[in-house]
Amino acid sequence: MIRYEFRREKSSLGMVLRPVAEVILERDGFAVEMPMYIDSGADISMIPFRFGRALGFRQEESDTIHELKGISGVGIPYILKEVNLVLNGIRLNVRIAWALIEDVPMLMGRLDIFEIFRIIFDEKKGWIDFEGG
């Protein structure tokens, strides 16, 4: 089992608890540890444009630009890429939405991750558990 504690952050509502996991993203021998918001409402994990460039992502002629629409209905252009996501030593090859804009958070979505684990959000106790894997 992998356990992460909720992170206390300021918001317009005051102090809130947010589910965050410290993960390592790897691609072509480059690895970086980053916090990602664990988002059970996100279909796919997402990273901002510059972070994807740092991982070595480039827009190829064969890439298709897709658009994600969140709850606000605002479209976010992205290219589907693959990356290794390391979660407490467990390496997963995941598809990720490389946003073609900066103003997006680092999100861990359901695709290629939530089907591997049983994920329990226990805000009352202050943690998120990933069981299985």
Please tell me whether residue 21 adopts helix, strand or coil conformation: strand
Q: Tell me the residue ranges of DSSP E strands in 48-108.
A: 65-69, 75-87, 90-99, 107-108
Q: Does domain 2-11+21-132 have CATH number 2.40.70.10?
A: yes
The whole-angstrom separation of Cα 10 and Cα 25 is: 26
**In the prediction, which pLDDT does 8 show?**
94
Domain boundaries, the chain: 2-11+21-132
Say yes or no to pLDDT of 72 above 90: no
**In the prediction, which pLDDT does 106 show?**
96
Q: Write down the mean pLDDT value for the chain.
A: 94
What are the tens digits of pLDDT across the range 35-70?
Answer: 999 999 999 999 999 999 999 999 999 999 999 887
The answer, as to whether pTM is greater than 0.75, is yes
* 111 confidence band (pLDDT: 50, 70, 90): very high
Say yes or no to pLDDT of 131 above 90: yes
Question: Residue 12 carries which side chain, given as an amino acid letter?
Answer: S
